[in-house]
């Protein structure tokens, strides 16, 4: 009995170990989708203005027949949603434009249409609207190409007792659970009335399939993680859905049960100025950070971290909260496994004041000196996941808790199972992850990107990136190592269709890029200690808010 059990166990395992992923596992569809409108593929990072991929949400319907891509118009107003053929990745039908949308913040595909999370200014004259046409979060449902409803997830009438919320940047995600028959959205907000007015935090909202906003005790949240620096959100069979936030006080939390900066501490992170090292991609990140294994209650979370040493008490926050210094100059990739939506499979991060090691619980995917960013994860099946990231082999990391700059040295795609690496990662210099990684009905994992000469070596101009494109590409990873024949086109010269950023880089940015580490000053950053807000009590779902987000404050 024992012998045959071992045989059954080892044969498939060794088969997988022998296989891993290879270059032929990666299939690309370069410039397969012609866009009706132009798109800016670069979004500048908070604080540093370093280039990030601007997210293009991508989703496939439950029946596997319809895929949709959402993108922000290059004018930065109007979100376009284009149906895509899930095998050729070419356009199906014409574009649906959601007029006034300011960011493509999340997309769910249905068999009969889609739902889009975006942000938009309220009509002029709206009572209790935020000042200066600041956009508020909104969920749209389209059925067979026509708008069926739209529901605001902030602004007047939404959690008025706590305070009204706007979302100047729609960083977050939208999911739908068939079992719960409910949409969930988790996104960054800034409040403009109430106790948290002027502060950045986050909110979780649930919406029924008919568009009714539902307040669910123990699941909905008007205000959660201080100055949210990254969101990972995935559907569960019932609310609350699986949620993770990175905040600016020193932690990444599995906060499914608390919806706040509390719960199970996944990681200690070094922080400054409302940032924590862009663990979930920073601006335009917050997608495909948490993947649910297919047909399972388990999840896998991926992020990047500089590690944590020298745990100190977070005096401002109190309550046993900690701060840490970074162990490394660069960021490495890590994963955490969840047994289910609110249980970590492994140890939580320590909160022991005075501890030297604050990261001994971390399951590192990389442990080198290359800077890793843009980490994402998706599930092939009930066991195997694809973890991806980008590298700068020789990085300059002069800004504490921000991104690094340097020559881009490749995208990496690592197969993992049961928390362990399987084989070597596949490396690509011309395939990136710039939108949701989706498990297709045939088991491939596919995602959108813009085929371009990708550069991470300097900040984009103060006025933001200028390059635009009207072509979208898609890549897929096959677990069985048989990429389809479309790869022939992957080496064609489409990268030339998008110029490099050199022309948009201003001399002031060159100066910034070589400047010493950012030093917070009273003039540039509102001091956290100056904010008279209630202290978080253990067991409550509300934590102290942090300083307001200051952009381009150098």
- Other Cβ atoms closer than 10 A to 10: 11
Q: Considering the rule CB under 6 A, would residue 270 count as an interface residue with ligand NAG? A: yes
| CA atoms within a 13 Å half-sphere pointing along the CA-CB vector of 405 | 20
Bridge partners of 28, per DSSP, are 475
| Count, residues near ligand NAG per rule CB under 6 A | 14
Q: Which is nearer to ligand NAG, 32 or 399 (CB)?
A: 399
Of 219, 280, 222, the C-alpha closest to 255 is 219
Out of 264, 370, 397, 543, name the contact with ligand NAG by CB under 6 A. Answer: 397
Q: Which is nearer to ligand NAG, 28 or 268 (CB)?
A: 268
**In the complex, least distance from residue 214 CB atom to ligand NAG, rounded to whole angstroms:** 37
Cβ neighbourhood burial of 511 (10 Å; 0-12, 13-18, 19+): exposed
Q: Considering the rule CB under 6 A, would residue 329 count as an interface residue with ligand NAG? A: yes
Out of 61, 66, 272, 373, name the contact with ligand NAG by CB under 6 A. Answer: 272
**In the complex, least distance from residue 546 CB atom to ligand NAG, rounded to whole angstroms:** 12
Tokens describing residue 24: 């032929």
Q: Considering the rule CB under 6 A, would residue 512 count as an interface residue with ligand NAG? A: no
Q: Which is nearer to ligand NAG, 516 or 539 (CB)?
A: 516
Tokens describing residue 309: 């040493």
- Dist. CA 246–CA 265, nearest whole Å: 10
Is 484 within 8 Å of 87 (Cβ atoms)? no
Q: Considering the rule CB under 6 A, would residue 326 count as an interface residue with ligand NAG? A: yes
Q: Considering the rule CB under 6 A, would residue 321 count as an interface residue with ligand NAG? A: no
Q: Considering the rule CB under 6 A, would residue 323 count as an interface residue with ligand NAG? A: yes
Tokens describing residue 167: 């979302």
**In the complex, least distance from residue 191 CB atom to ligand NAG, rounded to whole angstroms:** 24
Bridge partners of 80, per DSSP, are 71, 97
**In the complex, least distance from residue 262 CB atom to ligand NAG, rounded to whole angstroms:** 18
- Dist. CA 54–CA 51, nearest whole Å: 9
Q: Considering the rule CB under 6 A, would residue 306 count as an interface residue with ligand NAG? A: yes
Q: Considering the rule CB under 6 A, would residue 268 count as an interface residue with ligand NAG? A: no
Q: Which is nearer to ligand NAG, 134 or 272 (CB)?
A: 272
Q: Provide, for the chain, the percentages of residues in helix, strand and coil under a 3-state DSSP scheme, each rounded to the nearest 5.
A: 10, 35, 55
Of 87, 19, 109, the C-alpha closest to 435 is 109
Site map (CB under 6 A) of ligand NAG, residues 105-144, x = contact: ----------------------------------------
Q: Considering the rule CB under 6 A, would residue 229 count as an interface residue with ligand NAG? A: no
**In the complex, least distance from residue 329 CB atom to ligand NAG, rounded to whole angstroms:** 4
Tokens describing residue 243: 């949620």
Of 236, 118, 251, the C-alpha closest to 187 is 118
Q: Which is nearer to ligand NAG, 152 or 408 (CB)?
A: 408
Please tell me whether residue 485 adopts helix, strand or coil conformation: helix
Out of 119, 229, 271, 305, name the contact with ligand NAG by CB under 6 A. Answer: 271
Q: Which is nearer to ligand NAG, 323 or 351 (CB)?
A: 323
**In the complex, least distance from residue 401 CB atom to ligand NAG, rounded to whole angstroms:** 6
Is 54 within 8 Å of 464 (Cβ atoms)? no
- Phi and psi at residue 148, in whole multiples of 5°? -95, -40
Please tell me whether residue 75 adopts helix, strand or coil conformation: coil
Out of 22, 325, 466, 548, name the contact with ligand NAG by CB under 6 A. Answer: 325
Q: Considering the rule CB under 6 A, would residue 337 count as an interface residue with ligand NAG? A: no
Q: What residues make contact with ligand NAG under the rule CB under 6 A?
A: 270-272, 306, 323-326, 328-329, 397-400
């Amino acid at each position: 009995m024992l012998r045959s059990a071992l045989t059954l166990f080892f044969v498939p395992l060794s088969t997988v170990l022998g296989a891993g992923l290879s270059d032929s596992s990666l299939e690309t569809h370069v410039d397969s989708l012609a866009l009706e409108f132009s798109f800016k593929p670069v979004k500048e990072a908070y604080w540093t203005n370093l280039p990030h991929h601007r997210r293009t949400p991508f989703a496939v319907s439950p029946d596997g027949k319809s895929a949709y891509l959402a993108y922000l118009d290059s004018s930065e107003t109007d979100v376009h949603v284009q149906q895509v053929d899930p095998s050729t990745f070419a356009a199906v039908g014409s574009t649906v434009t959601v007029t006034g949308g300011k960011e493509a913040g999340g997309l769910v595909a249905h068999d009969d249409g889609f739902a889009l999370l975006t942000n938009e200014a309220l009509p002029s004259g709206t009572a209790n609207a935020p000042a200066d046409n600041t956009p508020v979060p909104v969920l749209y449902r389209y059925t067979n190409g026509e708008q069926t409803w739209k529901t605001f997830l902030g602004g007047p009438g939404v959690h008025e007792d706590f305070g009204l919320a706007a979302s100047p940047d729609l960083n977050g995600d939208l999911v739908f659970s068939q079992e719960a028959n409910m949409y969930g959205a988790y996104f960054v907000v800034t409040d403009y009335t109430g106790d948290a007015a002027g502060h950045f935090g986050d909110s979780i909202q649930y919406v029924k399939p008919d568009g009714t906003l539902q307040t669910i005790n123990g699941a909905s949240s008007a205000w959660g993680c201080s100055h949210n620096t990254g969101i990972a959100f995935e559907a569960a069979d019932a609310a609350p859905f699986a949620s993770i936030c990175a905040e600016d006080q020193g932690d990444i939390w599995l906060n499914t049960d608390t919806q706040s900066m509390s719960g199970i501490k996944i990681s200690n992170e070094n922080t400054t100025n409302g940032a924590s090292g862009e663990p979930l991609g920073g601006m335009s990140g917050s997608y495909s950070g948490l993947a649910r294994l297919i047909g399972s209650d388990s999840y896998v979370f991926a992020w990047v971290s500089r590690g944590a040493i020298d745990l100190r008490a977070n005096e401002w926050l109190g309550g046993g909260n900690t701060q840490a210094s970074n162990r490394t100059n660069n960021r490495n990739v890590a994963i955490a496994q969840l047994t289910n939506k609110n249980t970590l499979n492994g140890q939580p991060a320590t909160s022991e004041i005075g501890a030297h090691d604050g990261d001994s619980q971390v399951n590192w995917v990389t442990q080198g000196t290359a800077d890793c960013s843009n980490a994402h994860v998706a599930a092939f099946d009930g066991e195997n996941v694809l973890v991806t990231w980008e590298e700068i082999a020789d990085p300059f990391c002069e800004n504490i808790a921000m991104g690094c700059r340097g020559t881009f040295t490749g995208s990496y795609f690592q197969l993992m199972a049961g928390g362990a690496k399987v084989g070597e990662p596949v490396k690509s210099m011309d395939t990136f992850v710039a939108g949701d990684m989706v498990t297709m009905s045939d088991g491939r994992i596919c995602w959108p990107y813009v085929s371009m000469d990708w550069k991470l070596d300097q900040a984009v101009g103060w006025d933001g990136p200028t390059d635009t494109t009207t072509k979208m590409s898609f890549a897929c990873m096959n677990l069985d190592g048989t990429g389809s024949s479309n790869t022939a086109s992957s080496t064609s010269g489409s990268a030339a269709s998008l110029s490099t950023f050199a022309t948009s880089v201003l001399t002031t940015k060159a100066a910034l890029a070589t400047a010493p580490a950012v030093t917070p000053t009273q003039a540039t950053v509102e001091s956290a200690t100056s904010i008279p807000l209630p202290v978080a009590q253990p067991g409550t779902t509300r934590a102290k808010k942090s300083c307001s987000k200051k952009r381009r404050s150098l």
